[in-house]
Amino acid sequence: MAKELIVTTRLHDYPIVIGENLLTSFDFSPFIKGKQILIVTNETIAPLYLQQLIDNLPTDKKIATCILADGEQYKNQDSINQIYDVLMREHFSRDCTLIALGGGVIGDMVGFAAASFMRGVNFIQIPTTLLSQVDSSVGGKTGINHPLGKNMIGAFWQPRLVLADMALLTTLPQRELSAGLAEVIKYALITDLEFLNWLEKNMQGLVSLDMSLLGEAVLKSCQHKANIVAEDEFENGRRALLNFGHTFGHVIETHEGYGNYLHGEAVAIGMVQAMKLSQKMGNVSLDDVARVEILLKNANLPILPPKIAVETALDLMSHDKKVKSGQIRLILLKTLGDAYITADYDASSLQQVLQN
Amino acid sequence: MAKELIVTTRLHDYPIVIGENLLTSFDFSPFIKGKQILIVTNETIAPLYLQQLIDNLPTDKKIATCILADGEQYKNQDSINQIYDVLMREHFSRDCTLIALGGGVIGDMVGFAAASFMRGVNFIQIPTTLLSQVDSSVGGKTGINHPLGKNMIGAFWQPRLVLADMALLTTLPQRELSAGLAEVIKYALITDLEFLNWLEKNMQGLVSLDMSLLGEAVLKSCQHKANIVAEDEFENGRRALLNFGHTFGHVIETHEGYGNYLHGEAVAIGMVQAMKLSQKMGNVSLDDVARVEILLKNANLPILPPKIAVETALDLMSHDKKVKSGQIRLILLKTLGDAYITADYDASSLQQVLQN
């Protein structure tokens, strides 16, 4: 049985449909605008799912495809230009639909291409990783990396539909499943202690691909994200909480080169660092920190950062989008299940955390 | 005496301030966000006005500059990348302000850079041409060209302030002044017969740089554009009327190569073609066509198209953003001062017009 969650945005409302074997059975017609469809996917996903998707699309449409290289290192302007080139060569009009079939990298890029082609066209997300199902399917953040920083170029743009098919997770490498669980755990940590308890109880099942449990975790995560985003679509306040662990995590990703750490792995380490700083600030306890470390380990996630000089880390942090008039702002926890954003923390405590 | 027009958009309201010598006297402080300013201009404008602008900006800001090559042929991804590179190198945060000092090309590019850097930052337009004062200062259209089509990549993004300084027009080449007058005449043709009479009476003064008349023409044009845009910010309906002459004009610009015809010159020719088709459709009279041709000539504008094969022209038209499910839609006149959009025109009449 498919579950549905309606996401409300300023541009329009759209459903996230969560279930099993949706790729081959869902009726896309109501969500497709115009007669031209471009499916963008990558070299890993195309042989697995592209033809299945094409076979399930309405037969009266012109369908073009664009298959990009797979990996965060290709989340750049060149890939966007490849999408534009197909759209232009195939005479796509404003009245068309783009479909993103892939993980967060594909979703973010196709979203940005959809936002910027002819100043905005219709698009559909079919996230093929757990991370993209729980993260990029809500919020309208699209974009690419700049050589000097992650996600620096982009736009806010909303899909018309998100289809989260749990069956697609069966071909996902275990390491990527765990990376997705990092973001699931994040929602629990910043906003929902009860969900944290549930995750601790069910982590074994989640890790071993129990579809029903995964569907519940995706729904809960998307609900939390949707609630926060609805309050603050353009990230002026509360939405920043979603970046818990991310400022630290971005440092790792940038320093180690895109693609060497999975995003969720870097976030897992970043969350531990943010927890440690929260503990040094007198908020959470050492036991809380240990509890989260155990949960992350049970999700097969790393918890220790690679070696990065403190000054380098601080310099990389200064590029973060949350920097306001030169001040690095961080997301910390008051208690488990309750996060806040602040520029008011002890600089030496931050340095200690970065030194570890 | 500066005049002010408030433009209402879904994102925010902003003023267009119209007057003389504003660059050196206007107080920018209320419109600047954060402590970092990037001024983007081009090699022609920089030696004339860049230092004057810097001298008039608040002294407590960090000011960076980016000087691009001048011309429509540089309205591309490379130029956008140059802007991104300065922003990243100089550690600009989301809390910054971009200033576009230049014509429509600079304005469109800086607008798109502002829309896409960190998914959207503050920006100010200081249009230095008549065309950009009356055209790109209202409507939020930003973007760049693709090798296969004009303005194909972009976003809707609104400035915080537009400063239209008539004194800047004194250094504008006569040919560019005329190109701007083409858009002024367009507003009269699509929506305001009285304004058309006023233009016929005052064209001599406008062409010879009467600042007061120019200020009136800019104000009237911006008002007309603002009214139409307020009704239809995302170009689903009435806003398309602003493209009167543009579908024909784009064919000329694309075919002859960007930069060989000024945009306003191509639009002037395109408006004559649209008038002729309107006449063939039984709307306006031959006298009306002749009247408009005379006005355009008095503004020192071309009225005859270069030689382009009809099939080539039709193919280029099929790339137009107004194409809906394969049908080329055109803006025609019912009468002078009253335009409409339609896909219902005689194909052979269109071919005759393109053959001329």
Written as one string, the DSSP assignment of A15-56 is: EEEEESS-TTT---GGG--SSEEEEEEETTTIIIIIHHHHHT
Q: Is B141 designated active site?
A: yes
What is the rounded CA–CA span in Å between residue A218 and residue A135?
9
Digit-coded pLDDT (tens) for A331-350 = 999 999 999 999 889 899 99
Do residues B321 and B143 touch, judged by C-beta distance below 8 A? no
CB atoms within 10 A of CB A147: 13
Residue in B112, B116, B319 closest to A91 by CB? B319
Q: What is the pLDDT of residue B325?
A: 63
What are B176's two structure tokens?
Answer: 């560019």
Q: Is B160 designated active site?
A: no
Can you give the CATH number for the domain in which B156 is found? 3.40.50.1970
Helices (H), chain A: 51-55, 77-89, 104-116, 130-134, 174-191, 193-207, 211-231, 246-256, 263-280, 286-298, 310-317, 347-355
End residue of a domain, out of B114, B141, B171: B171
A124 and A248 share a domain? Answer: no
Mean pLDDT of chain A: 94
A196 and A337 share a domain? Answer: yes
Mean pLDDT of chain B: 94
Q: What is the pLDDT of residue A149?
A: 86
End residue of a domain, out of A171, A193, A227: A171
Q: What is the pLDDT of residue A324?
A: 66
Q: What is the pLDDT of residue B248?
A: 94
Residue B215 pLDDT exceeds 90: yes
Residue A211, amino acid: M
B62 touches A: beta carbon within 8 Å: no
What is the rounded CA–CA span in Å between residue B156 and residue B159?
10
- Which residues, listed in sequence order, are joined to residue B258 by a DSSP beta bridge? B261
| B148 contact residues in A (CB cutoff 8 A) | 88-89
Higher pLDDT, A318 or B89: B89
A241 and A344 share a domain? Answer: yes
User: Which domain, by its residues, includes A57?
Assistant: 3-171
A189 and A241 share a domain? Answer: yes
Digit-coded pLDDT (tens) for A181-208 = 999 999 999 999 999 999 999 999 999 9
Count, residues in chain B: 356
Residue A259 pLDDT exceeds 70: no
B156 and B220 share a domain? Answer: no
What is the rounded CA–CA span in Å between residue B168 and residue B133?
11
Q: What is the pLDDT of residue B319?
A: 75
Do residues A31 and A161 touch, judged by C-beta distance below 8 A? yes
Task: Name the closest residue on chain A to residue B149, using Cα atoms.
Answer: A88
Average pLDDT over every residue of B85-98: 96
Confidence tier at B150 by pLDDT (50, 70, 90)? confident
Q: What percent of chain A has pLDDT over 90?
A: 82
Digit-coded pLDDT (tens) for B27-58 = 999 999 899 999 999 999 999 999 999 999 99
Residue B259 pLDDT exceeds 70: no
Average pLDDT over every residue of A131-152: 91
Report the gap between the CA of A19 and the closest CA in chain B (Å).
31
B199 and B163 share a domain? Answer: no
Give the closest residue to A105 by CA, choosing from A45, A16, A173. A45
Task: Name the closest residue on chain B to residue A86, using Cα atoms.
Answer: B148
Residue A286 pLDDT exceeds 90: yes
Average pLDDT over every residue of B136-152: 91
A203 and A219 share a domain? Answer: yes
Residue A121 pLDDT exceeds 70: yes
Task: Mark yes or no for CB contact A319/B91 under 8 Å.
Answer: yes
Q: Positive or negative CA dihedral for A135, A137, A141, A147?
A: positive
Set B89, B119, B201, B307: catalytic member: B119
What is the rounded CA–CA span in Å between residue B183 and residue B175?
13
Confidence tier at A230 by pLDDT (50, 70, 90)? confident
Confidence tier at A321 by pLDDT (50, 70, 90)? low
| A146 contact residues in B (CB cutoff 8 A) | 84, 88
What is the rounded CA–CA span in Å between residue A257 and residue A71?
12
What is the rounded CA–CA span in Å between residue B315 and residue B250?
12
- Count of structural domains within chain A: 2
- Strand ranges across the sheet with B62-68: B3-7, B14-19, B161-165, B122-127, B96-102, B36-42, B62-68
What are B160's two structure tokens?
Answer: 């915080």
What is the rounded CA–CA span in Å between residue B140 and residue B157?
5
Higher pLDDT, B326 or B175: B175
B92 and B116 share a domain? Answer: yes
Residue B116 pLDDT exceeds 90: yes
Q: What is the pLDDT of residue B318?
A: 82
Task: Mark yes or no for CB contact B325/A93 under 8 Å.
Answer: yes
Do residues B239 and B228 touch, judged by C-beta distance below 8 A? yes
Q: What is the pLDDT of residue B149?
A: 86
Q: What is the pLDDT of residue B282?
A: 94
A165 and A186 share a domain? Answer: no
User: Which residue has 């992650």 as its token pair?
Assistant: A150
Do residues A113 and A83 touch, judged by C-beta distance below 8 A? yes
Give how far Cα B313 sits from Cα of B28, B40, B221, B322, Å: 45, 35, 30, 15
Give the closest residue to A130 by CA, choosing from A194, A215, A69. A215
A82 and A115 share a domain? Answer: yes
What is the rounded CA–CA span in Å between residue B210 and residue A164?
63
End residue of a domain, out of B171, B205, B236: B171
Q: Which of A122-131, A232-241, A252-261, B238-247 has the highest mean pLDDT?
A: A122-131
Q: What is the pLDDT of residue A327?
A: 77
Task: Mark yes or no for CB contact B152/A117 under 8 Å.
Answer: yes
Q: What is the pLDDT of residue B239?
A: 86
Q: Which residues contact A277 (CB under 8 A, 6 or more apart)?
A: A330, A332, A345, A349, A350, A353
B154 touches A: beta carbon within 8 Å: yes
Average pLDDT over every residue of B249-261: 85
Q: What is the pLDDT of residue A338?
A: 96
Digit-coded pLDDT (tens) for A15-68 = 999 999 999 999 999 999 899 999 999 999 999 999 999 999 999 999 999 999
A142 and A187 share a domain? Answer: no
Task: Mark yes or no for CB contact A318/B117 under 8 Å.
Answer: no
A207 and A127 share a domain? Answer: no
Residue B334 pLDDT exceeds 80: yes
Do residues B139 and B111 touch, judged by C-beta distance below 8 A? no
CA B49 to chain centre: 21
| B93 contact residues in A (CB cutoff 8 A) | 321, 323-326
What is the rounded CA–CA span in Å between residue B227 and residue B339?
15
Give the closest residue to A203 by CA, choosing from A182, A222, A224, A221. A182
- Phi-psi bin for B139: left (phi > 0), alpha (psi -120 to 50), beta? left
Digit-coded pLDDT (tens) for A300-319 = 999 999 999 999 999 998 87
Residue B326 pLDDT exceeds 80: no
Q: Which of A154-163, A233-242, B3-12 has the highest mean pLDDT?
A: A154-163
Residue B26 pLDDT exceeds 80: yes
Can you give the CATH number for the domain in which B199 is found? 1.20.1090.10
Q: What is the pLDDT of residue B322?
A: 65
Residue A290, classified by CB atoms within 10 Å of its CB into exposed (0-12), middle (13-18) or buried (19+), is exposed
Do residues B18 and B218 touch, judged by C-beta distance below 8 A? yes
Q: Is B255 designated active site?
A: no
Task: Mark yes or no for CB contact A152/B88 under 8 Å.
Answer: yes
Digit-coded pLDDT (tens) for B73-84 = 899 999 999 999
Residue A233 pLDDT exceeds 90: no
ipTM score = 0.84
Give how far Cα A20 sits from Cα of A2, A24, A163, A168, B176, Å: 7, 10, 10, 8, 61
Do residues A320 and A250 touch, judged by C-beta distance below 8 A? yes
Do residues B328 and B319 touch, judged by C-beta distance below 8 A? no
| B84 contact residues in A (CB cutoff 8 A) | 146, 152-153
Residue A348, classified by CB atoms within 10 Å of its CB into exposed (0-12), middle (13-18) or buried (19+), is exposed
Do residues A116 and B154 touch, judged by C-beta distance below 8 A? yes
Task: Mark yes or no for CB contact B152/A84 under 8 Å.
Answer: yes
Task: Mark yes or no for CB contact A325/B120 under 8 Å.
Answer: no
Backbone angles phi, psi at A324, to 5 degrees: -125, 120
What are A127's two structure tokens?
Answer: 């996230």
Q: What is the pLDDT of residue A72?
A: 85
What is the rounded CA–CA span in Å between residue A82 and residue A276?
43
